[in-house]
Copies of this chain bind each other. A is one copy, B any other.
C-alpha cells in the first residue's frame, strides 16, 4: 500500500514529527489532494504551545493543493467550473447547514475545517502539512484560475478573506476613506490590500520592524508609523491625527493583537467612524479601556474571525485580476516538509512574514 508523509503535532511544545501514513482509498464524493503549499499561521504556532490542544493532529489550514483523485460524483467546483485531476484547488469542509450558526449565516458550529481535525483515525490526512490531504465527501471546492500563481492564490486565504468579511460587517469602506491599519504582519498586509481595492484615499500602516514597513509601502501603503520610533500609544494617536487633518481616521482596522491596540484604535477613529477588530484573537485578560469613546464618538465597531465561502471566491478572483501589488513577496520563507519545525521557528521569531511548507518539494 502506498504511503506518504505528514508533520504531526504530538503534544504541546514538542517538535512536530514527520510520520508515515497510508494513502487512503476514496469514498464516493471525496477528493484526494496532493498538497502544493501550506502556510504556517499564528494559530498553528499558538496551538503548538497549548497543553489542552488535542493530538495527534496534522496542522495546516491555509492550503493550496492539486487534485490527485476525484471521488465518484465530484464534477464541478463552486462556480460550476469542471474539475479534473491535476487542477489546482482551494478547499474547505462544507458546513453542516443545519446548526444554529449555519442557519443565521455564521461559521458552522459542527464541522471542523482541515488543519483542526485529530489525526488518530483513518484517513488521518486532514491537515495541510502533509503530502496528501483527504477531503470528506461533498467538499467545498474552488478551482484556482490558470493564470494565478500558487503564491498569489495562497495570499487570498491569508488575511485578505478575513478582513474582507470584517469590512462587510462594518458596512464597507467608502470611496476615499482614510484607513489606519494597526499591525504590519500578514493580517495587516491583507487589510492594507483590502483597503486599497475598496477605494481608500490614504492607508496608514502602524507596525515594525522597518523592513515590514518598507514592504507595506511596496504593497500600497501611503504612510507608515514605526512603533519602534513612535513608542508611546499617545504618540501614535497624535501622528494619526496629524495625517488625517486632525479629524482621525474614517476607518481603523486592528490587526496587531497588541494589548494597548484596542484603546489606541478607539482614540484614532474619527467621530462616526468605523473600527474593525481582527487582531484581538487571544484573551489577554482585562485591559484598560474607555468605552466612553465608543458612545461619545458614535463609533461603529465589529469583531471578526475567519470568513464565509463567498469571501474566498472573491479574494481568489481579486488576486487573479484586481490587485496589481506583488503580494507574493509576503511569502518570505519556504521549507520542505522535513523542516516544518524550522518553519514554525521562523514565524515565532518574526523572521518570516509568511512561512510556507512545500510538502511535496
Contacts and interface: CB of A to CB of B under 8 A. Distances in A.
Interface of A: 78-80, 94-106, 138-141, 164, 168-169, 172, 174-176, 194, 197-202, 245-247, 262-263, 271-272, 277-305, 308-310, 313-315, 317-318, 321-322
Copies of this polypeptide in the complex: 4
A303 B294 contact: yes
A291 B290 contact: no
Contact of A94 (B97, B297, B301): B97
B175 A322 contact: yes
26 contacts: A80-B245, A80-B246, A94-B96, A95-B97, A98-B141, A103-B313, A105-B308, A172-B172, A175-B197, A176-B317, A199-B199, A201-B317, A201-B318, A201-B322, A277-B291, A277-B294, A280-B296, A281-B292, A281-B296, A283-B292, A285-B290, A287-B288, A287-B290, A289-B289, A293-B303, A295-B304
Contacts of A282: 292
B175 A314 contact: yes
Nearest to A170: B300
A139 B99 CA distance: 10
A97 B309 CA distance: 9
A303 B314 contact: no
Contacts of A272: 101, 104, 106
Given A198-B175, A298-B303, A302-B300, A288 B291 contact: no
B291 A280 contact: yes
- Listed from nearest, the 6 A-B pairs whose CB atoms lie closest are A286-B288, A295-B303, A294-B303, A103-B309, A262-B291, A197-B199
A98 B138 contact: yes
A256 to B, nearest CB: 12
Nearest to A160: B175
B284 A290 contact: yes
A298 B306 CA distance: 10
Nearest to A321: B201
A298 B309 contact: no
Given A291-B277, A299-B302, A315-B175, A245 B79 contact: yes
Contact of A295 (B194, B202, B246, B279): B279
A31 to B, nearest CB: 12
A94 B105 contact: no
A4 to B, nearest CB: 26
A284 B141 CA distance: 39
B284 A286 contact: no
Contacts of A321: 176, 201-202
Nearest to A291: B262
B298 A291 contact: no
Given A94-B97, A262-B291, A277-B291, 8 more contacts: A78-B98, A79-B245, A80-B246, A101-B271, A199-B318, A201-B318, A201-B321, A287-B290
A53 to B, nearest CB: 17
Nearest to A275: B301
A183 to B, nearest CB: 13
A119 B245 CA distance: 34
A86 to B, nearest CB: 21
Contact of A263 (B140, B286, B302, B313): B286
A93 to B, nearest CB: 9
A59 to B, nearest CB: 20
A219 B302 CA distance: 31
